[in-house]
Amino acid sequence: MALLSSSLDSWNVFSRVNYWNIRPHRVKSSPFCVTMCSVEKSKRVWIWTENQQVMTAAVERGWNTFVFMSQNHQLAKDWSTIALIDPLFVKEGEVFDGMEKRVASICQVATPQELQKLQPSDEQADNIVIDLLDWQALEQGLGGVVLKVEDDEAVLELKEYFDRRNEVSNLLSLTKATVTRVNVIGMGDRVCVDLCSLMRPGEGLLVGSFARGLFLVHSECLESNYIASRPFRINAGPVHSYVLVPGGKTCYLSELKSGKEVIVVDQKGQQRTAIVGRVKIESRPLILVEAKGSDHQTHYSIILQNAETVALIAPFQENGGKKTTIPVTSLKMGDEVLLRVQGGARHTGIEIREFIVEN
């Protein structure tokens, strides 16, 4: 990781040796802010402060790693009674965790060339903390943000900045698929995923029988004739199905459990992460849905519970001419649904490049 410092309170930046191209952005409360562009992994945020209001604002926005000087162990203990935090301590040019394990080394960098030469050895910590003498060295790209500040307004600005960046960059490519078959197939163990977040109309999880094509399955946020709205729930499919999770990976629905993260996607492809609160597996009647892609050759399939509350999401229409969702009980040949087309097969959730036949 690379830490920037300046004589003023500042946005600071860190990374794990894998550098990305970045561009600095001015913000009114600090000398500079830095964009980190990596689709694979969210950037971490460390907060360096002695101000309790800053700490509270950061925790409320999901950031719980705080940097202290070595003499501030008592402050870290006091804050730990307020919220669950992950304290780090700076001592003699090194960064340690609460168990005195070194987690980062600190180096001074003045040029992009010096930044390029930084590679961790076996003796070094995993992360490199960089005291940047010239912020233009950031042209090499870094992977996170350390915010050194005593004003909670800067925390709000950083969160707003990330939110704006995510609105632009966090788009998944979705494509249309045409339903070719709908068939009742009998009983099976299906998975309901209850999230710690509420979902809006048009949002759902990407699920499929094969990782090469994941269907956008809608949440239960809409009212039904048979059941009340449950905007935190997705009736996602049977235990064998793949579901998209952060980092461009998939996992089986049966592997989800409390605390894990999934990717929530809307009709336009906008994605966000959500935490799984609970998973329910129950035996239910199932229905097989098959569809062909835009090339009219590749076929995809998904199995879902045969229930009115389970729906797939239709392609977005600017004029609102079509429904957002299609219940599987109303699904028929020729209907269009949204699909996330991916590469080949997967091993332990990661895409692999080898010959595999899946049917």
In whole angstroms, what is the distance from residue 302 CA to residue 242 CA?
9
- pLDDT reported for residue 162: 75
Give ∠ CA 236-238-240 in degrees, rounded to 5: 115
**246: Cβ contacts below 8 Å, ≥ 6 apart:** 41, 42, 261, 262, 263, 273
Across the range 135-156, mean pLDDT stands at 72
Final residue of a structural domain among 113, 141, 169: 169
Over residues 241-253, the pLDDT tens digits come to 999 998 788 999 9
- pLDDT reported for residue 194: 97
Across the range 64-79, mean pLDDT stands at 94
- pLDDT reported for residue 159: 82
Q: Answer whether residue 359 is part of any domain.
A: no
- The residue range of the domain holding 142 is 10-169
- pLDDT reported for residue 327: 94
Q: Is 147 found in the same domain as 199?
A: no
Is pLDDT at 138 greater than 70 in this prediction? no
Across the range 300-319, mean pLDDT stands at 89
Q: Answer whether residue 4 is part of any domain.
A: no
Is pLDDT at 117 greater than 80 in this prediction? no
- More confident site: 141 or 15: 141
Final residue of a structural domain among 139, 169, 199: 169
Q: Is 223 found in the same domain as 155?
A: no
- pLDDT reported for residue 317: 72
Angle, in degrees to the nearest 10, between helices 152-169 and 52-60: 20
From 28, 65, 49, select the one nearest 144 (Cα to Cα): 65
For the chain, give the percent of residues with pLDDT over 70: 72
In whole angstroms, what is the distance from residue 194 CA to residue 179 CA?
27
Q: Is 72 found in the same domain as 209?
A: no
Q: Answer whether residue 1 is part of any domain.
A: no
Final residue of a structural domain among 126, 152, 169: 169
Tokens of 344: 């080949």
Q: Is 141 found in the same domain as 73?
A: yes
Q: Answer whether residue 210 is part of any domain.
A: yes
- pLDDT reported for residue 160: 80
Q: Is 132 found in the same domain as 43?
A: yes
Number of domains into which the chain is organized: 2
Q: Is 213 found in the same domain as 116?
A: no
- pLDDT reported for residue 281: 97
For the chain, give the percent of residues with pLDDT over 90: 49
Give the DSSP letter of residue 76.
Answer: H
Are the beta carbons of 258 and 277 closer than 8 angstroms?
yes
Across the range 109-138, mean pLDDT stands at 63
Q: Is 114 found in the same domain as 88?
A: yes
Over residues 159-195, the pLDDT tens digits come to 887 777 766 667 888 999 999 999 999 999 999 999 9
From 358, 335, 336, 338, select the one nearest 346 (Cα to Cα): 358
| Cα-Cα end-to-end distance for the chain | 44
Q: Is 193 found in the same domain as 101?
A: no
Q: Is 336 found in the same domain as 225?
A: yes
Give ∠ CA 176-215-195 in degrees, rounded to 5: 135
In whole angstroms, what is the distance from residue 229 CA to residue 222 CA?
5
- pLDDT reported for residue 37: 31
Question: Average pLDDT, whole number, for the chain?
Answer: 79
Tokens of 245: 């999770």
- pLDDT reported for residue 73: 94
Q: Is 179 found in the same domain as 158?
A: no
Q: Answer whether residue 2 is part of any domain.
A: no
